Amino acid sequence: MTFSPKKRYSIFSLARNALSYHERWPEAWRSPSPNPAYDVVIIGGGGHGLAAAYYLAKNHGIANVAVIEKGWLGGGNTGRNTTIIRSNYLLEESQVFFEHSLKLWESLSQELNFNVMFSQRGVVNVYHSPQEMEALTRRQNAMRLGGIDAETLTLGELKAMAPSLDCSPQARFPIQGAVIQRRGGVARHDAVAWGYARAADSWGVDIIQNCEVTGIERAGGRVVAVETNRGRIAAGKIGIAVAGHSGQVARLAGLRLPIETHLLQAMVSEPVKPFLSCSLSSGLLHVYVNQSDKGELVIGGQLDGYNSYSQRGNFSTIEQTLAGAVALFPAISRLRLMRAWAGIMDMTMDGSPIMGKTDIGGLYLDGGWCYGGFKATPAAGWCLAHLIANDEPHPAAAPFSLSRFGDGRVISERGVGPKPNAH
Ligand SMILES: Cc1cc2nc3c(=O)[nH]c(=O)nc-3n(C[C@H](O)[C@H](O)[C@H](O)COP(=O)(O)OP(=O)(O)OC[C@H]3O[C@@H](n4cnc5c(N)ncnc54)[C@H](O)[C@@H]3O)c2cc1C
């Protein structure tokens, strides 16, 4: 196993490189041609695949690994999401997994020597009715029983935290209160992909971009290779971490997954001065808002509601989302939108991820993250690496096996049944 630490990023390297007009920074990661064979091939160069490769090398000593990405690193949902990080879940299985992830986030910049700009600014859920208050309070109590931070905010506290929020009784949907997870927050999505890529590369992992997996070869009940547009690559084990393409890629190995692919849009306004210091969402209005460090308001809503791989959504969803945002923050009604985009979401039948073995030897799955997989990135990588190295699930991820759908052990936070677009 080769470990060649990259030149560390620090105040001193910044000053040194400033003197040479920033023209001598070393490359962050190599761009090798694929080898004919690897111990492990990970399909998908998003945050999950890159994190898994890094932890395979660092935690398990398996560095003869390739990450195969059909486009560019982070060009999938990793680079398209609204970056909210939280562990405010109702069910114990989800709490354990996402709290493991949140703890890894808290030291990730130091771990990777790469500033992922993790900002624990608090994740606030407002409520507009007694029914919503009961549901949020129940979740808050469950979190506290699980050892996770959660607090109630009175209207006065909420107003102090978000002065532009319309907390008046005249609001279209008057706000009655809120709950907050103060340790929740946001991070810089590209930096997460780049930080893991750089760290994995320094352990000897090959990161191969512009290389699409077009087939998965099997022999004797095991996977033996992937076919790609750059040739065949033999693999002892294969991990699939392709988010919205989970169904397509699993089908290459003859598997049919309980996943539907849907569109989710997000948008940013033009930048403004500091306006909102937390991440704030309203379940009733199907909208959430936070402010990026550049000053843009980052706004997201609900799924477009039909199956698609198109990576572009509809104006009606944008309009509905923005109507909700303006109802919360009337002051933004004249802001201009700069960009809107969509990602393709791997929605499962119970709204929880799938991580585990498949019936095919040496083939492992990380998918079905719905719209919550960015916050999962460190733990998903950690647990996928554990699974591939040991052929056994990590305890934090064990409940999320593919077999749970056959066994009837679904993990449904919303309890809405097998309706992927309703989770
Ligand atoms: C608009 C939007 C908002 C979101 N907001 C949040 C949020 O606030 N918080 C949160 O936690 N989550 C959020 N998510 C969800 C989150 O982005 C994803 O769950 C997460 O990024 C998935 O990461 P990944 O590494 O598994 O997938 P990706 O980043 O999508 O990476 C998968 C990679 O696999 C590659 N690939 C696909 N097929 C092949 C193939 N055949 N061969 C080779 N490579 C292939 C793709 O090109 C892609 O780069 C949001 C998503 C969207 C779209």
Distance from the CA of 101 to the center of ligand 1, in angstroms? 16
CB distance 102 to ligand 1 below 6 Å: no
- Which pLDDT does position 300 carry in this prediction? 97
Question: Per-residue pLDDT tens for 60-106?
Answer: 999 999 999 999 999 999 999 999 999 999 999 999 999 999 999 99
Question: Per-residue pLDDT tens for 324-356?
Answer: 999 999 999 999 999 999 999 999 999 999 999
421 confidence band (pLDDT: 50, 70, 90)? confident
Distance from the CA of 79 to the center of ligand 1, in angstroms? 7
CB distance 352 to ligand 1 below 6 Å: no
CB distance 76 to ligand 1 below 6 Å: yes
CB atoms within 10 A of CB 410: 16
CB distance 241 to ligand 1 below 6 Å: yes
Distance from the CA of 291 to the center of ligand 1, in angstroms? 21
Distance from the CA of 180 to the center of ligand 1, in angstroms? 26
Distance from the CA of 46 to the center of ligand 1, in angstroms? 6
Ligand 1 atom closest to the CA of 375, numbered from 1? 11
Question: Per-residue pLDDT tens for 116-173?
Answer: 999 999 999 999 999 999 999 999 999 999 999 999 999 999 999 999 999 999 999 9
pTM of the model: 0.97
Between CA 348 and CA 384 the distance in angstroms is 18
- Which pLDDT does position 4 carry in this prediction? 67
311 confidence band (pLDDT: 50, 70, 90)? confident
- Which pLDDT does position 5 carry in this prediction? 66
- Which pLDDT does position 422 carry in this prediction? 86
